[in-house]
């Protein structure tokens, strides 16, 4: 059902990949410094240097480069749907696993931390149902926490090529359906926000405590 979105995404990344340019531009990032600021926001929510990380939409492995720079010593697996970028990642970082997978339909092992940077940013015809199903799947794949970023609807001007997400809608969705332990950081870069969702049962799914018992 979401195959047309994958096809459009691959067409866009084919153009940027074959166009050459620096590594960050081949994965549709406008500026390397801004890319690393986004990575730093994700990294601050990773609790350990020795956890296992699953990078959804890993592209050519730029987040792995950032992790190594920060002294990360855990295990890393990258997942993407664009094979040329995956081939570049495998050649650049031998010894790490880079998988060609459709996260929504193909099996991927659980990892301690699941991260995603930039996958939602390009407008490929997605809607909020797709975004929420994507977030839910990332949450299912994490043992402890999932962390991702997006472009906020709180902007001065919206471009047709970009996809904007209401941070309040994401916050409400995460708390109501996934976990009460949600952190949202908005404004570290103009119009960007990052969400970290810690694995925990939603409050509505917890057994009710007898009021008399709770009062002693």
For 12-77, the three-class secondary structure string (H helix, E strand, C coil) is HHHHHHHCCCCHHHHCCCCCHHHHHHHHHHHHCCCCCCCCEEEEECCCCCHHHHHHHHCCCCCEEE
* Cα separation, 112 vs 161, whole angstroms: 33
Contacts of 14 (CB under 8 A, 6+ apart): 82, 84
Using CA atoms, how far apart are residues 210 and 125, in angstroms rounded to an integer?
48
| Residue ranges of the chain whose pLDDT lies below 50 | 24-27, 29, 211-216
Q: Computed over its alpha carbons, how large is the radius of gyration of the chain? A: 18
User: Which pLDDT does position 25 carry in this prediction?
Assistant: 44
- The predicted pLDDT at position 170 comes to 98
Q: Return the pLDDT at 33.
A: 81
pLDDT at 188: 86
* String of DSSP letters for 143-204: EEEEEEEEEES--S---TTB-EE-HHHHHHHHHHHT-S-EEEEE-SSTTEEEEEEE----GG
Q: Are 90 and 20 in contact (CB under 8 A)?
A: no
The pLDDT assigned to 214 comes to 46
Does domain 3-203 sit in CATH 3.40.50.150? yes
- Check: CB of residue 193 under 8 Å from CB of residue 167: yes
**pLDDT, mean over the chain:** 86
pLDDT value of position 201: 78
Task: Specify the pLDDT at position 9.
Answer: 61
This prediction's pTM? 0.84
In the chain, domain spans: 3-203
């Amino acid at each position: 059902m979401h195959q047309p979105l994958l096809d459009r995404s691959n067409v866009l990344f084919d153009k940027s990949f074959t166009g050459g340019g620096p590594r960050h531009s081949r994965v549709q990032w406008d500026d390397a410094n801004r890319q690393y600021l986004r990575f730093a926001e994700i990294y601050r929510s990773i609790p350990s240097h020795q956890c296992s990380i699953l990078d959804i939409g890993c592209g050519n492995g730029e987040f792995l480069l950032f992790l190594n720079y920060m002294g990360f010593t855990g295990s890393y697996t990258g997942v993407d749907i664009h094979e040329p970028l995956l081939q570049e990642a495998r050649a650049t970082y031998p010894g790490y696993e880079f998988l060609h997978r459709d996260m929504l339909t193909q099996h991927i092992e659980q990892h301690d931390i699941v991260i995603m940077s930039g996958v939602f940013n390009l407008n490929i015809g997605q809607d909020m149902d797709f975004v929420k199903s994507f977030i839910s799947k990332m949450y299912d794949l994490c043992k402890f926490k999932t962390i991702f970023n997006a472009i906020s609807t709180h902007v001065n001007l919206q471009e047709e090529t970009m996809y904007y997400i209401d941070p309040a809608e994401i916050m409400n969705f995460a708390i109501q359906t996934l976990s009460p332990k949600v952190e949202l950081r908005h404004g570290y870069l103009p119009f960007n926000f990052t969400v970290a969702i810690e694995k925990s049962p939603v409050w509505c799914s917890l057994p009710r405590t007898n009021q008399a018992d709770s009062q002693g």
